[in-house]
């Protein structure tokens, strides 16, 4: 199947997200879609997969113009998209999710559906138990399920949005082998949106690079990381030095005393930890290994089963989130729109929520503050822009603008999730500026180089157990082995 997009334009108010983009995607190829956050790559892929309408232009499949609206119509034309967070139903089993959305739906004979599921998973090297509840699957397994479901629906072009975020090295290898098979053996078109340039280099046959809504170039692979970075940003980026600071004499800002935490899939038991002012501690592990339990307990969003949480000398165990805020704890969730921001509200309304303390809002003052923060944090948006119209990187910049200037402790879930290398560096500049003023940082990340570069200490979470690692004495490869369960040397 040959896919073409011609002269695609898409605007969100004054933002020209896609500006006259024309591309051809041949079958049997894996194409990387690259660009900094806000470059327009996700918008273009959502247009191609029916999740987003376009203002003008056309889409052609095998030379014929198509006019579909909605993802089901796109799937009917053979184009399907795997979202960064797979679209499944948590209350269903693997088999029920597999048939959900198919003609006939849950009335499809279970035996035939089970047989088809087994055929696809075996061919691609996936391992999925048909009766397993979705809530018990890892992110990687949920991705595998979504891929076989789309294949069963007849998809011939598969779009993947940041598919390696939060999955293990083993799951990534399985995914890449499956994608290569689909491209080479099945002659499918595979489009990969990723900010991880090492994944693009390892997998893609060619890349298309967007910048500020426009197509700036295409090139065949192989290419080096520096060459791709130059295409994306117009210049090479200097290396980042590892963080090093002696915080041994600094006061404790957080003490965890024999903490027991319980989540949906894992329990963390008997965890004790002291965090000093100005210290950066990275939390490593596969998604759902317990890192989020610790971060939320440190912010009063999860009540421990046992143990104590002491912030600045005050025992806040069992206290609500507002008491942690009062003591200077800032929390940032991985789900920017799900928990961090409020879809439907403008940037001004978000700023007003955290700055206006009276019963009446001074909207003129709130707009001035918003304009100041937009300029200071380089947010690509206007005071009246709905927050959901911002790219992921600009949403993260807005979250930084909303965060207290001088917190005591920052508990951050994947603060650079889905961000390009330049946006990630900018976020860390803001975080480290607060650290220089005495704030401690606890953060989780699936990016091993980020953990090694910015942490003084790293805590590796595996099956509910926690293993401390000296960041200055470890390597990315060693950290990867620890996360994968090779803990003999920990």
Question: What is the DSSP code (8-state) at residue 51?
Answer: S
End-to-end CA distance of the chain: give it in Å, rounded. Answer: 50
- What distance in Å separates the CA atoms of residue 114 and residue 376, rounded to the nearest whole number? 55
- In a domain, residue 341? The reply is no
For residue 101, pLDDT over 80 is answered with no
- In a domain, residue 280? The reply is yes
pLDDT at residue 240 in the model: 78
- Indicate the helix (H) or strand (E) that contains 119: helix 110-124
Give the residue with greater pLDDT, 51 vs 288: 51
Q: 307-330, pLDDT tens digit by residue?
A: 999 999 999 999 999 999 999 999
Kindly state whether residues 140 and 188 are assigned to the same domain: yes
- In a domain, residue 238? The reply is no
Kindly state whether residues 88 and 119 are assigned to the same domain: yes
CB atoms within 10 A of CB 219: 14
Q: Please give the tally of structural domains in the chain.
A: 2
Q: Which of 273, 286, 321, 318 minimizes the C-alpha distance to 301? A: 321
- In a domain, residue 55? The reply is yes
Kindly state whether residues 277 and 216 are assigned to the same domain: no
Verify cis geometry, omega within 30 degrees of 0, for the bond prior to 397.
Answer: no
3-class DSSP state for residue 478? helix
- What distance in Å separates the CA atoms of residue 95 and residue 90, rounded to the nearest whole number? 12
pLDDT at residue 13 in the model: 81
What would the mean pLDDT of 4-31 be, rounded to a whole number?
94
- In a domain, residue 203? The reply is yes
- Indicate the helix (H) or strand (E) that contains 204: none
Q: 340-382, pLDDT tens digit by residue?
A: 899 999 999 999 999 988 789 999 999 999 999 999 988 888 9
Kindly state whether residues 283 and 429 are assigned to the same domain: yes
Kindly state whether residues 78 and 9 are assigned to the same domain: yes
Q: 426-485, pLDDT tens digit by residue?
A: 899 999 999 999 999 999 998 888 999 999 999 999 888 899 999 988 988 888 888 877
- How far CA 158 is from CA of 30, 109, 179, 323, 478, in Å, comes to 10, 27, 9, 47, 33
Question: Regarding beta strands 3-12 and 15-25, do their DSSP bridges make them parallel or antiparallel, or are they unpaired?
Answer: antiparallel
Q: What percent of the chain has pLDDT over 90?
A: 64
Q: 232-265, pLDDT tens digit by residue?
A: 988 877 777 777 777 888 999 999 999 999 987 7
- In a domain, residue 56? The reply is yes
DSSP states along 290-338: SHHHHHHHHTTSS--SEEEEEETTEE-TT--HHHHHHTTEEEE-S-III
286, HSE (Cβ side, Cα atoms, 13 Å): 22
- In a domain, residue 358? The reply is no
- How far CA 392 is from CA of 10, 37, 43, 105, in Å, comes to 17, 7, 11, 34
Phi, psi of 211 (to 5 degrees): -145, 125
pLDDT at residue 105 in the model: 63
Kindly state whether residues 123 and 171 are assigned to the same domain: yes
Kindly state whether residues 127 and 259 are assigned to the same domain: no
pLDDT at residue 279 in the model: 95
Kindly state whether residues 213 and 276 are assigned to the same domain: no
What would the mean pLDDT of 147-160 be, rounded to a whole number?
95
Q: Residue 423 is part of which domain span?
A: 252-328+404-483
> Are the C-beta atoms of residues 410 and 434 closer than 8 Å to each other?
yes
Report the chain's mean pLDDT, rounded to a whole number. 90
Output the pTM of the full model: 0.78
pLDDT at residue 122 in the model: 94
- In a domain, residue 391? The reply is no
3-class DSSP state for residue 85? coil
Banded model confidence at residue 106, pLDDT cuts 50, 70, 90: low
CATH of residue 468: 3.40.50.300
């Amino acid at each position: 199947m040959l896919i073409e997009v011609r002269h695609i334009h898409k605007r969100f108010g004054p933002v020209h997200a896609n500006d006259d983009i024309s591309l051809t995607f041949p079958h049997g190829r894996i194409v990387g879609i690259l660009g900094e956050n806000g470059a327009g790559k996700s918008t273009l892929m959502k247009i191609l997969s029916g999740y987003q309408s376009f203002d003008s232009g056309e889409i052609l499949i095998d030379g014929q113009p198509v006019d579909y609206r909605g993802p089901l119509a796109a799937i009917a034309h053979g184009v399907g998209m795997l979202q960064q967070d797979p679209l499944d139903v948590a209350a269903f089993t693997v088999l029920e999710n597999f048939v959900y959305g198919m003609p006939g739906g849950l009335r499809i004979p279970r035996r035939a559906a089970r047989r088809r599921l087994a055929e696809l998973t075996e061919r691609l090297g996936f391992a999925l138990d048909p009766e397993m509840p979705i809530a018990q699957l890892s992110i990687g397994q949920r991705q595998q399920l979504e891929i076989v479901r789309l294949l069963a629906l007849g998809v011939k072009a598969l779009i993947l949005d940041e598919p390696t975020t939060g999955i293990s090295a083993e799951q990534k290898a399985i995914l890449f082998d499956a994608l290569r098979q689909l491209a080479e053996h099945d002659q499918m078109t595979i489009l990969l949106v990723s900010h991880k340039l090492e994944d693009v280099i390892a997998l893609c046959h060619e890349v298309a690079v967007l910048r500020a809504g426009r197509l700036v170039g295409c090139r065949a692979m192989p290419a080096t990381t520096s060459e791709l970075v130059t295409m994306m940003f117009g210049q090479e980026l200097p290396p980042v030095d590892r963080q090093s600071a002696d915080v041994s004499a600094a006061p404790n800002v957080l003490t965890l005393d024999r903490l027991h935490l319980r989540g949906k899939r894992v329990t963390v038991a008997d965890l004790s930890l002291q965090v000093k002012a100005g210290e950066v501690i990275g939390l490593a592990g596969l998604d759902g290994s317990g890192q989020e339990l610790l971060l939320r307990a440190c912010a009063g969003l999860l009540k421990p089963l046992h143990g104590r949480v002491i912030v600045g000398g005050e025992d806040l165990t069992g206290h609500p989130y507002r008491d942690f805020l009062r003591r200077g704890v800032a929390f940032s969730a991985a789900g920017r729109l799900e928990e961090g921001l409020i879809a439907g509200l403008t940037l001004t309304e978000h700023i007003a929520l955290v700055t206006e303390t009276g019963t009446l809002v001074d909207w003129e003052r709130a707009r001035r503050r918003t304009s100041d923060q937009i300029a200071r944090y380089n947010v690509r948006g206007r005071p009246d822009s709905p927050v959901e119209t911002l790219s992921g990187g600009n949403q993260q910049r807005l979250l930084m603008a909303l965060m207290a200037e001088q917190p005591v402790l920052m508990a951050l879930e994947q603060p650079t999730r889905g961000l390009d290398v330049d946006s990630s560096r900018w976020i860390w500049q803001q975080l480290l500026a607060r650290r220089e003023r005495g704030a401690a940082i606890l953060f989780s990340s699936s990016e091993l180089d980020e953990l090694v570069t910015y942490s003084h200490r790293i805590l590796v979470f595996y099956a509910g157990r926690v293993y401390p690692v000296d960041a200055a004495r470890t390597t990315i490869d060693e950290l990867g082995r620890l996360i994968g369960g090779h803990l003999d040397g920990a």
